């Protein structure tokens, strides 16, 4: 029987992993990146589409990232072997015959939220996850600086559904009702928390005046590597605020986290002001909690030995992760 996926540094689950901002790869450019312990070459053909291949040429192992792009193909700098988007070698200058082994692993690539993402298979079953409220709409996305945490990304991701710590760490005395829904077809699980704002101090009373008596926020997890947070649902004053966290495991056992703020695009000069105001508010909400959470996840060795009934969302999340699929990037192979 295979070891658990949750909190296992040797396993990389199938999912979309962030690589770099889209603007870093122009037409006819190629560059290699380390993603989840793999070296991956990202290139953009003359048609404007991004593609992803295993980086090391099967001939003599040169990194394609120092090569160039010819048409819609990646060409190795060393001996000019050329590869198409399936990883198949289509040209060897010194001979017509192309060996069967002259092939690279190809990966699905997509551009979303201003970034390039890769999936550890040639074909991805679903695109990069979206917010329900923003599907089919034009969006504006602004990225914050990436950061790292000294623990596995599965541990960091549980922060948004740990109801206890809102009171103990952030001093937010609120009662939460939680509902859970899971879509097994696309590897997502949704946690929605709702309740009534307290009325026991001036801050909570001001919050009730501005936002209403009740609050709702949701956290969507996609393939154990993306978290989509929606705050202020059903707010009286503001539309919902959206923030995405892209998680990537590092060889050191730490986690790289790329925060991205997202909102619906509004037209015109007033729309521009509204867009950037909402993105700023989203950033401020994140910053209000980030430092305290960082103290936790830079100083933790997670061992769930004494979980309480209130921790049931964490149990649900762990079970969800353990049912994900291992990718070819995992160090260990699955036992039959």
**Cα–Cα dist 263/146, whole Å:** 19
Residues 252 and 194 placed together within one structural domain of the fold:
yes
Residues 186 and 162 placed together within one structural domain of the fold:
yes
- The last residue of one of the domains, among 60, 94, 119, is 119
Domain assignment present for 153: yes
> What was the pLDDT predicted at 334?
46
- The last residue of one of the domains, among 84, 119, 154, is 119
**Cα–Cα dist 30/75, whole Å:** 9
Domain assignment present for 328: no
Q: Label the pairing between strands 177-183 and 226-233.
A: unpaired
Q: Calculate the CA dihedral of residues 89, 119, 152, 1 and round it to 10 degrees.
A: -90
Average pLDDT over residues 189-195: 83
Give the burial class of 55: count Cβ atoms within 10 A of its Cβ; 0-12 exposed, 13-18 middle, 19 or more buried: buried
Q: How many domains does the chain have?
A: 2
Residues 141 and 35 placed together within one structural domain of the fold:
no
**Cα–Cα dist 128/142, whole Å:** 17
**CATH code, domain with 36:** 2.102.10.10
Residues 113 and 140 placed together within one structural domain of the fold:
no
Residues 161 and 306 placed together within one structural domain of the fold:
yes
Residues 37 and 136 placed together within one structural domain of the fold:
no
**Cα–Cα dist 313/243, whole Å:** 20
Average pLDDT over residues 272-299: 88
Helix (H) or strand (E) holding 51: strand 50-54
- The last residue of one of the domains, among 67, 89, 119, is 119
Residues 100 and 152 placed together within one structural domain of the fold:
no
Q: What is the pTM of this model?
A: 0.90
Whole-angstrom Cα Rg for the chain? 22
Contact 52/118 with Cβ under 8 angstroms?
A: yes
Domain assignment present for 8: no
Task: Give residue 229's pLDDT band: very low, low, confident or very high (50, 70, 90).
Answer: very high
Helix (H) or strand (E) holding 36: none
> What was the pLDDT predicted at 336?
39
Residues 218 and 92 placed together within one structural domain of the fold:
no
Residues 304 and 227 placed together within one structural domain of the fold:
yes
**Cα–Cα dist 264/141, whole Å:** 9
**CATH code, domain with 311:** 3.90.380.10
Whose tokens are 């969006």? That residue is: 139
Domain assignment present for 280: yes
pLDDT exceeding 90 applies to what percent of the chain? 63
Residues 212 and 306 placed together within one structural domain of the fold:
yes
pLDDT in tens, 64-108: 999 999 999 999 999 999 999 999 999 999 999 999 999 999 999
Domain assignment present for 11: no
Can you give the residue range of the structural domain that contains 183?
132-322
Q: Is the pLDDT of residue 158 over 90?
A: no
Contact 141/262 with Cβ under 8 angstroms?
A: yes
Residues 25 and 48 placed together within one structural domain of the fold:
yes
Domain assignment present for 186: yes
Average pLDDT over residues 144-161: 90
Please provide the average confidence, as pLDDT, over all residues in the chain.
88
């Amino acid at each position: 029987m295979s070891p658990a996926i949750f909190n296992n540094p040797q396993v990389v689950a199938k999912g979309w992993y962030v690589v770099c901002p889209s603007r870093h790869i122009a037409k006819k450019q190629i560059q290699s990146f380390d993603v989840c312990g793999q070296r991956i070459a990202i290139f953009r053909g003359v048609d404007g589409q991004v593609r992803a291949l295993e980086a090391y040429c099967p001939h003599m192992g040169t990194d394609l990232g120092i090569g160039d792009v010819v048409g819609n193909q990646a060409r190795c700098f060393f001996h000019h072997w050329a590869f198409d988007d399936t990883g198949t070698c289509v040209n060897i200058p010194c001979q017509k015959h192309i060996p069967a082994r002259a092939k690279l692993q190809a990966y699905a690539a997509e551009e979303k939220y201003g970034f390039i993402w890769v999936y550890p298979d040639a074909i991805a079953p679903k695109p990069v996850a979206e917010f329900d409220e923003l599907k089919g709409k034009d969006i504006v996305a602004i990225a914050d600086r990436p950061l790292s945490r000294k623990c596995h990304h599965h541990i960091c991701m549980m922060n948004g559904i740990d109801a206890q710590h809102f009171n103990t760490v952030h001093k937010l005395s609120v009662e939460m009702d939680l509902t859970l829904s899971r879509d097994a077809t696309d590897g997502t699980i949704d946690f929605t928390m709702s309740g009534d704002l307290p009325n026991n101090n001036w801050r909570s009373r001001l919050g009730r005046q501005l936002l209403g008596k009740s609050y709702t926020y949701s956290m969507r997890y996609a393939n154990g590597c993306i978290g989509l947070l929606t705050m202020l649902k059903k707010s009286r004053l503001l539309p919902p605020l959206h923030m995405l966290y892209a998680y990537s495991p590092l060889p050191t056992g730490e986690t790289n986290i790329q925060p991205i703020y997202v909102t619906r695009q509004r037209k015109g000069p007033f729309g521009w002001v509204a867009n950037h105001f909402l993105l700023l508010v989203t950033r401020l909400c994140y910053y209000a909690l980030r430092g305290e959470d960082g103290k936790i996840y830079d100083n933790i060795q997670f061992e769930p030995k004494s979980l309480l009934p209130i921790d049931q969302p964490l149990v649900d999340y762990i079970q969800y992760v353990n049912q994900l699929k291992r990718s070819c990037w995992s160090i260990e192979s699955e036992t039959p």
